[in-house]
Amino acid sequence: SQTIHQWPATLVQPVGSPLSLECTVEGTSNPNLYWYRQAAGRGLQLLFYSVGIGQISSEVPQNLSASRPQDRQFILSSKKLLLSDSGFYLCAYHRQQMNTEAFFGQGTRLTVV
Amino acid sequence: TQLLEQSPQFLSIQEGENLTVYCNSSSVFSSLQWYRQEPGEGPVLLVTVVTGGEVKKLKRLTFQFGDARKDSSLHITAAQPGDTGLYLCAGEQTDSWGKLQFGAGTQVVVTP
């Protein structure tokens, strides 16, 4: 079975600082990987997804970017964080067979101060 | 506006009571999942339903997919403190294969 590793678990960063969150997947090859942000009372917002190395699709315009340097690695970045970037970030692998099911990492709680 | 509306937003009950949470939409889904999330962790998949009218049971949890595949419910019988968590529903639409739409969740608290 697949395992999703995401780190760090918590992060406090000053406004204007850069960001790099990393996600790696074990137990599957060529995974479809997703970054979500979860805000209280608003569910999971899809930020980016990737179906392969170097392939990134962005769902919403924002201060963030994503990269897929290796098959099982997905990175969420920012050059300059804003206060509004605070939130709970989740990396997920979507298993797509007859239907789609999501498997999540443990999440990163980002607080921008 | 959420494509999937979950109700209630918050539910607090005593151990041993039953509860039902709902996930509603005006859109049709090819499949729908329920997840449970605990504080500081990622959601964990509980079940997937794909057929209109389908009922699935997972121990004390009963999941139902509406006949028209627009809504779903989760019923917990004799709730236990371990059932505490945020319950999220997510749906996959036929024209968006691979993507999931998530509801905002129902926070369930079961007190001893």
- Asked if A99 has any chain B CB less than 8 Å from its own CB, the reply is yes
pLDDT tens digits for range B57-110: 999 999 999 999 999 999 999 999 999 999 999 999 888 778 899 999 999 999
Tell me, what's the pLDDT at B98? 83
Based on the structure, what is the number of domains in chain A? 1
CB contact under 8 Å between B45 and A101, yes or no, is yes
CB contact under 8 Å between A43 and B97, yes or no, is no
- Asked if B9 has any chain A CB less than 8 Å from its own CB, the reply is yes
How far apart are the CA of A18 and the nearest CA of chain B, in angstroms?
Answer: 23
DSSP-derived 3-state class of residue B100: coil
Tell me, what's the pLDDT at B42? 95
DSSP-derived 3-state class of residue B38: coil
Tell me, what's the pLDDT at B95? 82
Structure tokens that stand for B57 in this block: 């049971």
In angstroms, what CA-CA distances link B79 with A80, B36, B44, B60, B62? Answer: 45, 14, 18, 8, 12
Q: What percent of chain B has pLDDT over 70?
A: 99
CB contact under 8 Å between B42 and A90, yes or no, is yes
In angstroms, what CA-CA distances link A76 with A11, A69, B14, B17? Answer: 13, 11, 41, 42
Residue of B nearest to A34 (CA): B99
Q: How far apart are CA A36 and CA A33, in angstroms?
A: 10
Nearest alpha-carbon partner for B46 in B98, B96, B106, B99: B106
Residue of B nearest to A47 (CA): B99
The mean pLDDT value for B8-35 works out to: 96
In angstroms, what CA-CA distances link A90 with A5, B58, B95? Answer: 10, 26, 24
DSSP strand E in B25-105: where?
31-37, 44-49, 55-58, 61-65, 71-76, 85-92, 101-102
Q: What is the mean pLDDT of chain B?
A: 94
Q: If pLDDT is split at 50, 70 and 90, which confidence band does B1 have?
A: low
CB contact under 8 Å between B104 and A42, yes or no, is yes
Tell me, what's the pLDDT at A28? 87
- Asked if A44 has any chain B CB less than 8 Å from its own CB, the reply is yes
Question: For chain B, what are the domain ranges?
Answer: 5-111
CB contact under 8 Å between A107 and B41, yes or no, is yes
Q: How far apart are CA A39 and CA A45, in angstroms?
A: 8
**Residues sharing a CB contact under 8 Å with residue A95, sequence separation 6 or more, in sequence order:** A2, A28, A101, A102, A103
In angstroms, what CA-CA distances link B24 with A13, B27, B35, B60, B96? Answer: 38, 9, 15, 22, 18
Q: How far apart are CA B30 and CA A65, in angstroms?
A: 30
CATH of the domain at A47: 2.60.40.10
Tell me, what's the pLDDT at A31? 92
For chain A, which residues score pLDDT lower than 70? none
CB contact under 8 Å between B97 and A100, yes or no, is yes
Q: Quick one: CA torsion of B60, B66, B69, B73, rounded to 10 degrees? A: -40
Q: How far apart are CA A93 and CA A31, in angstroms?
A: 6
Residue of A nearest to B50 (CA): A99
- Asked if B98 has any chain A CB less than 8 Å from its own CB, the reply is yes
> Smallest Cβ distance to A96: which of B33, B98, B105?
B98
DSSP track, B10-35: EEEEETT--EEEEEE-SS--SEEEEE
Instruction: Classify domain B5-111 at the CATH class level.
Output: mainly beta
Range of the domain at A87: 3-112
